[in-house]
Amino acid sequence: MKDKARLLIVDDSVESLELIDTQLDNKYHTSLVTSLSEARKKLLNNRYHIAIVDLVLPGENGLDLIRELTTDHPYTAVIAISGQASIEAAVMAMKLGAAEFLVKPLSNPDLINIMVEKTLQAQWLLEENRRLSAMLRKELDTDLIIGNSVPIQSIIQKLKKIAGLDTLALITGETGVGKSVFAELIHRNSPRRGEKFVSVNCGSLTETLLESLLFGHKRGAFTDANRDKIGYFQEANGGTLFLDEITETSLAFQVKLLKVLETGVYRAVGSDEDTRTDTRIIAASNKDIEALVKEGLFREDLYYRLNVINLHIPPLRERKDDIRVLASSFVQEFCDKYNKAELKISPGVMSLLLNYNWKGNIRELRNALEHAVIMAENKVVQPEDLPESVSGTSGSTEVFVEIDNASWAQARDAFSKHYIQNLLAKTGGNVLRAAAMAEITRENFYKKCTKLGINWRKYRKSSDNDNGGEI
């Protein structure tokens, strides 16, 4: 049973404060204040789950408090309210990080209760993610892994069983899912963690160069070999050698690798002496190895030798529960890297991230958020800060949601977003014309764009000068 949530309610009208408090029916711990100065004092000594902020206060602007909450209290969600409602105010509040926007008078008690509960659910989810992450790290050194989805938890449980065993392992999964991260994690939780972890991408090297790098070479073994050089097997001796994209190696090289795995010895290029190695091998591939074996493109004996323990990393589109925590982590990482103030992710951006297909998986997500942090001008990452391929402004007509795995709401929003983007593309960003084609009002069209995280301005043609593109 969760403790009562704490709510800070800011409104210059005592009558309005009492009305909201009554409508919430004592379900939450509420602090009622009539000015920004009082709100700031409360925030100094208390942590609130939600702040309900009136945008229009005598001599003050509620937007200032929303800015401060975004910067100094990132775990406090904001619900903005206003008796002088306008699209401009709603848009600005949402851009600054408000989760919801309500119009006064708040005559419907069900509405504010629904908004508060919806916002709280998102807050509880964030807290649960943080709690689970902390628990997992206590049990296993998993700080390299970000994500709490069921597939990731299942993999972590498997890691607990295999990390301490000195056995071969094969990691499979699409490009960008983080195979090298899981390989390093196995090493860090193994008896070999005090020794080196050496990673080699086999796909980027010729057969001759790969053999020289792994086994080393003797002076004079080939042109430019003017001195003896140790290989990665010797460098990783006692530790772990990670062979990424193992399926890109030649059949001839696979024979030599198999011999090392079976005998524990190898020969440096140009040497006539065997060298013994005590190295744990972890291999990885983004291809269907069994299919390659059937086609004669990968040695069957090497496959079965490597595949003692198989760890399959599912693509990001199959574990979308991880996107929220990954996105937050990447934004923080790049804020630190580029010396930028802490940024929040707007609801529109999060909707885009959750519905995008992520063919490049975590690597693509990371790159997209690095781009967004660099481009962000306010305290909140907006859809226009994302690469066009992700924000949907590049002219792509693909609907980035897997309908088979989507809820009704996700499927509906994906279709609506796709439909509106097509209208904007056809009209060159002329909102008036697009709204007319959709047979809805221009104001309603703006609202839908805001809800779905669509930046209609990016569809505008510079030559257009009508009022259909102005809020």
**Higher-scoring residue by pLDDT: 53, 204:** 53
- Tell whether 361 and 280 lie within a shared domain: no
Q: What is the pLDDT of residues 154-188, one digit of tens each?
A: 888 888 788 778 889 999 999 999 899 889 888 98
- Tell whether 310 and 166 lie within a shared domain: yes
Task: Report if residue 1 sits inside a domain.
Answer: no
Q: Indicate which CATH number applies to the domain containing 254.
A: 3.40.50.300
Task: Report if residue 139 sits inside a domain.
Answer: no
Per the structure, the complete domain to which residue 195 belongs is given by 150-316
- Tell whether 415 and 348 lie within a shared domain: yes
d(CA 355, CA 366): 16
* Backbone phi, psi, residue 195, to 5°: -105, 180
Task: Report if residue 145 sits inside a domain.
Answer: no
Using alpha carbons, select from 387, 373, 360 the residue that is nearest to residue 330.
373
* Backbone phi, psi, residue 4, to 5°: -60, 140
- Tell whether 80 and 217 lie within a shared domain: no
Task: Report if residue 370 sits inside a domain.
Answer: yes
- Tell whether 240 and 363 lie within a shared domain: no
d(CA 231, CA 269): 10
- What confidence category does residue 130 fall into, taking pLDDT thresholds of 50, 70 and 90? low
Tell me the two tokens of residue 423.
Answer: 């209208």
**Higher-scoring residue by pLDDT: 433, 108:** 433
Using alpha carbons, select from 73, 46, 77, 51 the residue that is nearest to residue 62.
51
- What confidence category does residue 1 fall into, taking pLDDT thresholds of 50, 70 and 90? very low
Domain boundary among 131, 165, 194: 131
Task: Report if residue 140 sits inside a domain.
Answer: no
pLDDT at 461: 59
Q: What is the pLDDT of residues 330-348, one digit of tens each?
A: 999 999 999 888 888 888 7
- What confidence category does residue 296 fall into, taking pLDDT thresholds of 50, 70 and 90? very high
Under 8 Å between Cβ of 183 and 323: no
**Residues 287, 290, 294, 297: is their CA dihedral positive or negative?**
positive
Q: Is the pTM of this model over 0.95?
A: no
Is 60 exceeded by the pLDDT of residue 465?
A: no
Give the mean pLDDT of 352-363.
89
Using alpha carbons, select from 402, 186, 210, 351 the residue that is nearest to residue 282.
186
Q: Which DSSP symbol is given to 282?
A: E
- Tell whether 325 and 462 lie within a shared domain: yes
Is 50 exceeded by the pLDDT of residue 252?
A: yes
Q: Which DSSP symbol is given to 4?
A: P
Domain boundary among 103, 131, 159: 131
Residue 143 CB burial class (10 angstroms; 0-12, 13-18, ≥19): exposed
Task: Report if residue 252 sits inside a domain.
Answer: yes
Write b or e for each residue in 434-460: b if 16 or more Cβ atoms lie within 10 A of its Cβ, otherwise e: bbbeeeeebeebbebbbebbbbbeebb
Q: Indicate which CATH number applies to the domain containing 88.
A: 3.40.50.2300
Our count of domains for the chain comes to 3
Under 8 Å between Cβ of 430 and 469: yes
